[in-house]
Structure 1
Amino acid sequence: MTVAVVTGGAGGIGSACARALAEAGHAVAVVDRAAESVERVVTSLRSDGHTALGIVADATSGIAVALAEIRSALGPVSVAVSAVAHEEHAPTLSLQPEQLERALSGTVKGALTYWQLAAQQMIEAGQGGRIVVVSSLHATLPFTGAAGYNAAQGALRAMALTFARDLIPHRVTVNLVEPGWIDTPGEREFYIDEELRLAGERHPWGRLGLPEDIAAAVAYLASPGAAYVTGATLRVDGGMSLAMTELPRGDG
């Protein structure tokens, strides 16, 4: 049985990815610092007959120990999914260097070590592997008032594409999934329910995205059908990016 690891695996998108990968036949390790949420996700997966392991760890500082524990319990990682980001929302002209540092550290620094160690396990196993990065469309389309977040996502994308190029000889693919506006519990840190409801009504698709929409894309990139896909960015936003700029409408 292949082993899939999901960092941020107890969050809205991460837990949906963990389930999609488990349903695809992988043994799944859920890595997150939220202990109660990790237990909830793992218990749910196990109750449905899936092989699941929960690791309570910070994906930035504790990933080396987590991956060693996963390898000992389940075997070497075959699929590594990154679903961790640190959001910094601040007016551009007042963004502080320490805020930018938090965004870069929480989003990019941890991913670097994670991808390196996961790739090393894949190379040692000699069977290739998959790294799938849950990024954001704001890696290339800036979100107003979030220069720190946008910068971190841009850096994450650039690093992922470099990994993709350099890991080709080892048949380790690296791809990105760029969600649009996804209705997750984390969104309620920034918006109230009514704001999210209205946003869904105004969305080109008529609703906000769901974690399962992102999980389906991640599962595809981890599947045999995507064996020849690397360095790709799969945007899953229901057309949001196509409608971000609209010309004023005249009377005629």
Structure 2
Amino acid sequence: MSTPESTPARNEPRIALVTGAAGGIGAAVARRLSEDGVKVILADLRADRLAPLVAASSSSGSAGAFAALEVDLTDRASLPDFVDRAREVFGGLDILVNAAGLYPSAPLLEMRDDQWDQVMDVNLSAVFSLSRAFARRLVDAGHGGHIVNISSGASARARRGAAHYCTSKAGLDMLTKAFALELAEHSIHVNAVSPGFIEVDSEVNPLGEEYVRKIRGGQPWPRAGVPDDIAGAVAFLCGPDASWMTGASLSVDGGAGTGNAALPLS
């Protein structure tokens, strides 16, 4: 059995695979890792959205190169081959960021089985299959690495119309701990970032104005979160200052997890 101290790490530059990279948090994570000198493979089902990100990175002279791959995370049988394709792009992989996620609204009594299944497939089952394939490749290569999962404050606090989403994120938090427990001996760090409300333009998961107003009113910090807030936390977890962290979930939520700031004095 290897130990974290004895398992060799790859030399720089590091190589990352980021899912859900076509926009929002995933794109911000990719940009931040690139700024830190990491070569980044952008992965998303919306392949047409990836090309402009690669072009923008090339024109800006980012430290780390970008490449793009299309992936259907619901096709779990294809994910091991997808990891192999990703490894061929820059000659290896060191970091996996599971940033893809769905947040559709559906009242519990009206929720269809296929709506439940779709959210579980993308938010939880795909993370398991992709992370397992990634970890197997690292173990076979004999070096450590990082897996960072994008969770949510909804993992601990249920929301109306989001039974599937909240449950998937609660499962993701436990999956993070389970992977961390078993992969530590292989020098593979597994952590999560738990965002609060993050303002993003999303055609996939649009939010109503009333919902946004109320959720922002409940957080102590006066501004809304932005994708770069989450990207900074991911970069920290993938860096040397987090070398003794695994199985952790960092809350980046403007204090929303501390309580409801909208309640009056009792």
CA offsets 1:36-85 (integer angstroms, 9 cap, x no match): 21111111222233311101222332533332222112122100000011
1:47 to 47, 59, 63: 59
Report the secondary structure of 1:165's partner residue: helix
- Within the alignment, does 1:133 sit opposite 2:149 as a pair? yes
Give the aligned residue type for 1:51: A
Please tell me whether residue 230 in structure 1 is matched to residue 246 in structure 2.
Answer: yes
Query: Are the counterparts in 1 of residues 220 and 261 from structure 2 also a CA contact under 8 Å?
Result: no
CA distance in 1, matches of 2:50, 2:136: 26
Residue pair 1:88, 1:100 contacting (<8 A) in 2 also? no
SS at match of 2:241: helix
1:176 paired to 2:192: yes
Answer yes or no: is the 8 Å Cα contact 1:100–1:148 preserved in 2: yes
Residue 71 of structure 2 corresponds to 57
In the alignment, which residue of structure 2 is the partner of 1:29? Answer: 41
Distance 1:128 1:243, change over 3 A: same
Q: Kindly report which structure 2 residues correspond to 1:159-174, keeping only aligned pairs within 5 A, or say none.
A: 159-174=175-190
1:98-144 Cα distance to aligned partner (Å, 9 max, x none): 32212111211111111011111221222211000011011111122
The reply to whether residue 249 of structure 1 matches residue 261 of structure 2 is no
1:73 aligns with 2:85: no
Unaligned runs of 5+ in 1: none
CA-CA distance at 1:93 after TM superposition: 2.9
Cα offset, 1:219, TM superposition: 0.3
- In 2, the alpha carbon distance for the partners of 1:82 and 1:33 equals 14
> For residues 43 and 134 of structure 1, what CA distance do their matches in structure 2 show?
25
Higher alpha-carbon deviation: 113-122 or 163-172: 113-122
Of the candidates 174, 181, 191, which is equivalent to residue 158 of structure 1?
174
Q: 8 Å contact 2:103–2:165 — kept in the other structure?
A: yes
Q: How does 1:92-171 map to 2 (within 5 A)?
A: 92-171=108-187
Change (3 A) 1:202 1:150: closer
Equivalent residue number for residue 8 of structure 2: none
Cα distance change on mapping 1:75 and 1:104 into 2, 3 Å = same
| Bigger mean CA deviation after superposition, 203-212 or 168-177 | 203-212
- Scaled by the length of structure 2, the TM-score of the pair is 0.86
Which amino acid in the other structure matches residue 142 of structure 1?
A: A
Amino acid at match of 1:170: H
For 1:244 and 1:197, the matched residues in 2 are separated by 13
Does the 8 Å contact 2:41/2:68 carry over to 1? yes
CA RMSD of aligned residues (A): 2.1
3-state DSSP class of the match of 1:29?
A: strand
Return closer, same or farther for 1:100/1:201 CA change in 2, 3 Å cut-off. closer
Q: Distance in 2 between matches of 1:235 and 1:18?
A: 20
Number of residue pairs the alignment of both structures matches: 249
Match of 1:6 in 2: 18
Indicate the larger mover: 115-124 or 165-174: 115-124
Tell me the TM-score normalised to structure 1 length. Answer: 0.91
2:204 is equivalent to residue 190 of structure 1: no
Unmatched tracts of structure 2, length 5 or more: 1-12
**Which is worse superposed, 4-13 or 89-98?**
89-98
